[in-house]
Structure 1
Amino acid sequence: MTSSSAHLRKALSKIASNRLQKELVEWQVNPPAGFKHKVTDNLQRWIIEVNGAPGTLFANETYQLQVDFPEHYPLEAPQVIFVPPAPLHPHIYSNGHVCLDILYDSWSPAMTVNSICISILSMLSSSTAKQRPADNDRYVKNCRNGSSPKETRWWFHDDKVC
């Protein structure tokens, strides 16, 4: 078993389950623009289709996010990765890991899947170049065997590079 799937072994707490059911209902009533939740029977893993915003480098492109919710969501951030092929972006590694502070150090239980999606779309939309992070090859090599991005010690030193 990979470490990225290991955290899925523990069932959601009652609080997490109730919160996710509430978010799912809200999503169905008012989905964020540019996103589509692929319905499954697994409340703990959401697959979300992301459409690049018009007028950006990612316009007319579609990607998939995999959102895995931990046992103690929303007290703990979900794991969010792009299902390969991931977009070419300075904050997105080729293995789908996303360098975005709200998914790690700046997570708040007040955040929702909706707010995560809006942040990711904003990150994509503000990109001025289609390129991988400078350390992509080294990072991906060190993430072999399915390690989770939550096991990475991210260094958020500016808004341009991880």
Structure 2
Amino acid sequence: AQVLSKIACLRLQKELGEWQASPPGGFTYKVSDNLQRWVIEVSGAEGTLYAGETYRLQVDFPEQYPMEAPQVIFMHPAPMHPHIYSNGHICLDILYDSWSPAMTVSSVCISILSMLSSSPAKERPSDNDRYVRNCRNGRSPKETRWWFHDDKV
């Protein structure tokens, strides 16, 4: 594994401190000594299709964070959602092309929860099986050439 740059380390320590002071609603950081991989528990929002359900996100930070986006995937079992593949990959533009160094883990979590909350149906993306098959050899979601279906989601 690559080692985080000094900038990434300082930035993540700061983010973790801010998270612990005021965690985003619906999320719990699973404490570990690995700054480079965070595991975050997500609780489905009340009044949505995912109410009462709990999922886990695995967030891996690249050496050049925050210039480069973190890799964020749902750990098994991933929620049933039109933009979440069964292997946990998430089709959300801010994790790829629209990432900005001003974003934080908290802001990414809030975007993911709002994506979950606005889902009209619990179903997999239409190309789920093909996509998951193509990722079998351990391909990272960052290597996918995403085509974002809909800016409103």
Instruction: Name the TM-score class by shorter chain.
Output: over 0.9
Aligned partners of 1:156, 1:86: CA distance in 2, in Å? Answer: 19
Q: How far does residue 158 in structure 1 lie from its aligned partner after superposition? A: 1.4
Correspondence 1:89 to 2:118: no
The answer to whether the Cα contact below 8 Å between 1:90 and 1:160 also exists between their aligned partners in 2 is no
Task: Give how far 1:159 is off.
Answer: 3.9
The 5-angstrom pairing of residues 117-132 of structure 1 reads 117-132=109-124
- Which residue in the other structure is 2:57 paired with? 65
Partner of 2:18: 26
Q: Distance in 2 between matches of 1:156 and 1:97?
A: 13
Amino acid at match of 1:16: A
The corresponding residue for 1:101 is 93
Match of 1:147 in 2: 139
Q: 1:109 Cα deviation (Å)? A: 0.1
Aligned to 1:50: 42
Contact 1:86 1:94 in 2 (8 A): yes
1: CA distance, partners of 2:9 / 2:78: 29
Structure 1: which 5+ residue stretches go unaligned? 1-8
Ranges of 4+ aligned residues in structure 1 off by more than 6 Å: none
Structure having greater relative contact order (Cα 8 Å, sep ≥ 6): 1
How far apart, in 1, do the equivalents of 2:48 and 2:150 lie? 22
The amino acid across from 2:58 in the alignment is Q
Q: CA shift at 1:160, angstroms?
A: 7.1
1-structure distance, mates of 2:152, 2:107: 21
Question: 1 CA distance for matches of 2:49 and 2:118?
Answer: 9
Among 28, 31, 49, the alignment partner of 1:39 is 31
- Residue 16 (structure 1) shift: 0.2
> Following TM superposition, by how much is the alpha carbon of 1:143 offset from its aligned partner in structure 2, in angstroms?
0.2
**Which whole-Å deviations, capped at 9, do the CAs of 1:92-140 have from their partners, x for residues lacking one?**
0000000000000000000000000000000000001000000000000
Which of residues 4, 10, 20 in structure 1 aligns to 2:2? 10
The separation in 2 between residues aligned to 1:111 and 1:63, in whole angstroms, is 22
Is the 1:48–1:66 Cα contact (8 Å) retained in structure 2? yes
- Normalized against structure 2, the TM-score is what? 0.98
Tell whether the 8 Å contact from 1:92 to 1:133 is kept in structure 2 after alignment.
Answer: yes
Count of equivalent residues: 153
Partner-residue secondary structure (3-state), 1:36: strand
